[in-house]
């Protein structure tokens, strides 16, 4: 069961993420091999101060399977040199998924809350009709060829039904216990954000408080002259 973040937990970015992916290849980390691809897709680039090319952003919203397959091939060719294994697509797009799979590119599906396009973050699968639609979407993606399916913010009851009817594994975030695997955003799990606390997240630490306390203490130490002390200073070599 993995804890995945698009921004490396250590804050060291792209190079560190690739190192983690290599460790995963060596079975030294029991987590999905997922890491950021810079300048692709509709999301903001994970590199500070850098945005994806607008033309590329528009192309990802193209509904033509041939066009999206060409772009996916280009992405995979670029990403494979750094160890990427697959692409993940949000929503019900069976024809596009089929085209990408035919091009020998593995696809992971994503249903429930779709954060890339959602205008409101709300729980999915709350009514019988919602569940029926979700089951229909899940079967369509499996038939299209996804190798696994992410479910996000879906009721536990609906998740159980989806997992039961599928032969491919389900990975849940905010979906209860009835998934084949679980994933959390490490920044939520470690309490790095104070204002955002989703119901489905269990906080194992409150790092934001610890960070604020540490910075406050640092400022005090500098102001009262206790830091840097001799312990943290360098000295010239003594001349004989």
Give the mean pLDDT of the chain. Answer: 80
Question: Confidence band (pLDDT; 50, 70, 90) for 44?
Answer: very low
Q: Is the pLDDT of residue 13 over 90?
A: no
* Per-residue pLDDT at 23: 72
Taking the C-alpha atoms of residue 64 and residue 131, their distance in angstroms, rounded to an integer, is 28
Rounded to a whole number of angstroms, the distance between the first and last alpha carbons of the chain is 61
pLDDT at 104: 81
User: For 119-136, how does the pLDDT look when each residue is reduced to its tens digit (9 = 90+)?
Assistant: 889 999 999 999 999 999
* Interval 154-213: pLDDT, tens: 999 999 999 999 999 999 999 999 999 999 988 899 998 877 788 999 999 999 999 999
Contacts of 213 (CB under 8 A, 6+ apart): none
Instruction: Enter the pTM of the model.
Output: 0.72
**Burial state string for 69-106 with b = 16 or more CB within 10 A and e = fewer than 16:** bebbeebbeebeeeebbbbebbebbbebbbbbbeeebb
Q: Active-site residue 152, yes or no?
A: yes
pLDDT tens readout for residues 48-81: 444 444 454 445 555 677 777 777 677 666 666 6
Catalytic residue among 90, 95, 128, 152: 152
């Amino acid at each position: 069961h993995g804890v995945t973040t698009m921004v490396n937990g250590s804050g060291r970015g792209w190079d560190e993420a690739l190192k983690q992916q290599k460790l995963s290849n060596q079975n030294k980390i029991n987590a999905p091999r997922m890491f950021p691809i810079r300048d692709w897709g509709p999301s903001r680039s994970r590199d500070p101060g850098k945005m994806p090319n607008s033309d590329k952003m528009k192309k990802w919203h193209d509904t033509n399977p041939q066009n999206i397959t060409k772009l996916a091939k280009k992405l995979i060719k670029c990403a494979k040199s750094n160890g990427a294994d697959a692409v993940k697509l949000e929503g019900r797009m069976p024809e596009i998924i089929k085209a990408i799979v035919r091009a020998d590119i593995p696809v992971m599906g994503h249903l429930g809350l779709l954060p890339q396009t959602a205008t409101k973050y709300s729980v999915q699968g709350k009514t019988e009709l919602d569940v029926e639609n979700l089951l229909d979407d899940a079967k369509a993606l499996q038939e299209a060829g996804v190798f696994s399916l992410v479910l996000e913010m879906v009721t536990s009851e609906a998740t159980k039904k989806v997992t039961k009817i599928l032969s491919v594994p389900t990975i849940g975030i905010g979906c209860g216990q009835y998934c084949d695997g679980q994933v959390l955003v490490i920044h939520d799990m470690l309490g790095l954000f104070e204002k955002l606390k989703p119901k489905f997240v269990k906080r194992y630490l409150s790092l934001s408080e610890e960070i604020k306390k540490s910075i406050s203490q640092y400022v005090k130490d500098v102001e009262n002259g206790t830091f840097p002390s001799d312990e943290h200073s360098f000295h010239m070599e003594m001349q004989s």
